[in-house]
Structure 1
């Protein structure tokens, strides 16, 4: 399991957002459980919906209906890479669409 730097930044921003909206304890618990959920991908990595239209081998799945996790699976190296974590309706598609200019 590998978290891309951008995914780690997303987790930090999510924790800050929830801390402000609820409390630091609630935020830490949510993010810890989200990370544990991501770590469970090693047991069944090919879950979620493929989004090859955005990025080859990209997969999207949800956590608690409020958070989208974008990841890829390298089956040859048996590695799951978390590319992004998007909360509360944030658009993940824009991050993976190729630049048109």
Structure 2
């Protein structure tokens, strides 16, 4: 199986920026924040090696998969030849409730 391309939705990039800010504020170290986000992005990149890995979460959105990372859950869609990183949730954010709320909004 060939490697799938990994792309990021704008929401995921925004999440990564916020994670960086939060860690830099908590640790008072841009080095620590940068290192964490780099490791997180490396993990996202590795999803392309096994795009069907992770936990299927069709209960939250069709085709959605989650992959844990340290204190994060990386949320990814597998879209044909690409893995699309939808969101990155950090620090215990309730991603299940957030996805269910999105689904409720879509039904309105």
TM-score between both structures, scaled by the size of structure 1: 0.91
Picking from 79, 84, 89, the partner of 2:82 is 79
Deviation at residue 94 of structure 1 after TM alignment? 2.6
Residue 94 of structure 1 pairs with residue 61 of structure 2: no
Residue 62 of structure 1 pairs with residue 68 of structure 2: yes
Provide structure 2 residue ranges, at least 5 long, that are not aligned to the other structure.
1-5
Measured in 1, the distance between the counterparts of 2:66 and 2:14 equals 18
Measured in 2, the distance between the counterparts of 1:56 and 1:24 equals 37
Trace 1:43-54 onto structure 2 (pairs within 5 A): 43-54=49-60
Residue 29 of structure 1 pairs with residue 35 of structure 2: yes
SS in 2 for 1:99: helix
- 1:44-88 Cα offsets, whole Å, 9 max, x none, are 111111110110000011012x100111112x3x10000010111
Measured in 1, the distance between the counterparts of 2:7 and 2:97 equals 22
Q: What does residue 3 of structure 2 align with?
A: none
Moved over 3 A (4+): none
Aligned residues: 98
Larger helix proportion of the pair? 2
Measured in 2, the distance between the counterparts of 1:92 and 1:70 equals 9
Supply the RMSD in Å over aligned alpha carbons. Answer: 1.1
